[in-house]
Chains A and B, each alone.
Chain A
Amino acid sequence: MSETKTAYERVQAARNGKRPMGSYYIEHMVDDFVELHGDRRYGDDPAIVGGIGYINHIPVTVIAMERGDTIEDRMKRHFGCPEPEGYRKALRLMKEAEKFRRPVICFIGSSGAYCGIGAEKRGQGLAIAENLYEMMGLKTPVISVVVGEGGSGGALALGVCDTAIMLENAVYSVISPEGCASILWKDSAKAPEAAAHLRLTSYDLLSFDVVEKVIPEAGKTDREICSALKTILLDEIAKLRGLTNEELLDHRYEKFRKIGA
């Protein structure tokens, strides 16, 4: 099933400009999608698209990182790197989902939280910290899917979930291979080597029990991948909806509690 690729080849695949991102999955998987805007605090961050729709007649809240298509669009969306307002919008929509015990599906794909003076002034660290904290207690099922590059804390801010899924060529890491290489060897050109050491591929994370499912991509069209993902999402939603809030939150706590040491 799996395709043989080096870790860095997967990093490049995850970053490929033609790779489908959040909006693609919304368009092809979610019916009657209604996009909801804004964090009700300061602004609306287009790097995160959120709203409500149906997956096979089940209402779900979808929150997706989106880097955009055209160059203008990508600039506007900071290539999918969220500002604090993006994370706050995500949290607001998750809280709304909780009120109706509607499952939440998060699509992760960006190099990380946006780095900027404004983002720091408006509490980038706090915004991520609040999502981690609140998502640990969110009384509705949360499923996170890493579809592209899962860049550090900015990815984890949509990644505290009951079930974590990765596409085969998605990656998920504490630091970019370039960042790692320049710290270790003062040479970002050694990123391929760093990527291998960081163990950031979907199969690495599956073997560490950090993600529960990997969706194979080799030899498949985007539509086929999307449809395989949809089947798994429906399965997981059915399973998670059967749990009481207490079971759900205990299970979520344990999922992260067991990682490391």
Chain B
Amino acid sequence: MSTLKTILNTITGNVEQPPRVCKKCNAEIPYEKYIDNHCICPECGAYFRMRAVERLDATADKGSFQEIDRKLKSKNPINFPDYAEKLDKAEKASGLAEGVVCGTAKIDGTDCALFIMDSAFMMGSMGTVVGEKITRLFEKATALGLPVIGFITSGGARMQEGIFSLMQMAKVSGAVKRHSDAGLLYIAVLTDPTTGGITASFAMQGDIIIAEPKALIGFAGQRVIEQTTGEKLPSGFQRAEFQLEHGFVDIIEERPRMTYTLSKLLKLHQTK
């Protein structure tokens, strides 16, 4: 907790973390209590979207994380209007250079490669840097013989990098395949929201796919489906429970048990 606070205070430039306010029930939660409760509202049980650093703190063994490519930044490949400013703003707001944090770590003593997407940076959308960082992580894991755990949250491919963003879906898929062909485990953890090109690539390529309760997981946007088909969407459409019912995720796991479940799965795959 104290390390986490230091990191968060550094990246956000705040002296103290302000209390968090629940979007569902408006409860105001002091930051310590918020973290102790796994970023879940103690009043109504709603899941907040976790920052990458919070997820890391809740998942990796203390002091075990070695970050890679922390400073990699977009080169604005198609010179998209206002994009450079948008990137600057996202960096200031999130304290991150891009939408994913990657590195090696231990989870309950087991070595793994870890990527954690952060929706505070342009909704975790994937442009060249997110694609490159995740590709490099899978390549590193393949070289080192490590399993990969990915915490996913993303609105999809990033429009502002055009065709370069789209091609990242293929690029990452290639690296996931090579990692898998080397006989290594990849667990995808889908958190709210996981949509578009991310669902259509590495989110659905895990050997094991875990979802957080009620997370929105799908390919097409809900408004687009309604407009295209004129149909009314059933309740719970594209939520984690819907995906479990239709056979697309293995497990829905509560956040307080997530690290335990990951550790158990990692260990099961280590025992020959």
Inter-chain contacts of A252 with B (CB < 8 A): 174
Interface: B214 (CB within 8 A): no
Interface: B117 (CB within 8 A): no
Inter-chain contacts of A113 with B (CB < 8 A): 200, 219-220
* B169 close to A260 (CB less than 8 A): no
Inter-chain contacts of A156 with B (CB < 8 A): 166-167, 169-170
Q: Give the CA-CA distance A121 to B248 in the complex, in Å.
A: 9
User: CB-CB contacts of B163-204 with A at 8 A, as 1s and 0s?
Assistant: 111111111011111100100000000000000110111111
Selected contact of B197 from candidates A117, A136, A152, A210, CB within 8 Å = A152
* B218 close to A120 (CB less than 8 A): yes
Evaluate whether A133 and B220 lie within 8 angstroms (CB atoms) in the complex, with A125-B204, A153-B196, A198-B78 already known.
Answer: no
Selected contact of A125 from candidates B174, B203, B221, B229, CB within 8 Å = B203
Inter-chain contacts of A173 with B (CB < 8 A): 162-163, 166
CB neighbors of B among A97-153 (8 A) = 113, 115-117, 119-126, 128-130, 132-134, 136-137, 152-153
* A116 close to B228 (CB less than 8 A): yes
User: CB-CB contacts of B130-170 with A at 8 A, as 1s and 0s?
Assistant: 01100100000000000000000000011101111111111
Selected contact of B229 from candidates A116, A124, A183, CB within 8 Å = A116
* B199 close to A125 (CB less than 8 A): yes
Q: Give the CA-CA distance A220 to B256 in the complex, in Å.
A: 64
Evaluate whether A260 and B168 lie within 8 angstroms (CB atoms) in the complex, with A117-B225, A117-B237, A174-B157 already known.
Answer: yes
* B163 close to A172 (CB less than 8 A): yes
Q: Give the CA-CA distance A132 to B204 in the complex, in Å.
A: 11
Q: Is the interface of A mostly helix, strand, loop or mixed?
A: helix
Interface: B74 (CB within 8 A): yes
Q: Give the CA-CA distance A117 to B200 in the complex, in Å.
A: 16
Interface: B25 (CB within 8 A): no
Interface: B205 (CB within 8 A): yes
Q: Give the CA-CA distance A174 to B176 in the complex, in Å.
A: 21
Q: Give the CA-CA distance A123 to B168 in the complex, in Å.
A: 21
* B167 close to A129 (CB less than 8 A): no
Q: Give the CA-CA distance A252 to B173 in the complex, in Å.
A: 12
CB distance from A86 to the nearest CB of B (A): 14
**What range describes how many residues of A lie at the interface?**
35 or more
* B74 close to A116 (CB less than 8 A): no
* B167 close to A260 (CB less than 8 A): yes
* A136 close to B224 (CB less than 8 A): no
* A160 close to B177 (CB less than 8 A): no
* B173 close to A115 (CB less than 8 A): no
* A153 close to B166 (CB less than 8 A): yes
CB neighbors of A among B217-257 (8 A) = 218-221, 224-225, 228-229, 231, 233-234, 237-238, 246-248
* B202 close to A117 (CB less than 8 A): no
Inter-chain contacts of B225 with A (CB < 8 A): 115-117, 120
Inter-chain contacts of A184 with B (CB < 8 A): 159
CB neighbors of B among A239-261 (8 A) = 252-253, 256-257, 259-261
Selected contact of A130 from candidates B127, B204, B247, CB within 8 Å = B204
Q: Lowest 5 CB-CB distances: which A-B pairs, in order?
A: A260-B128, A125-B199, A261-B132, A125-B219, A129-B204
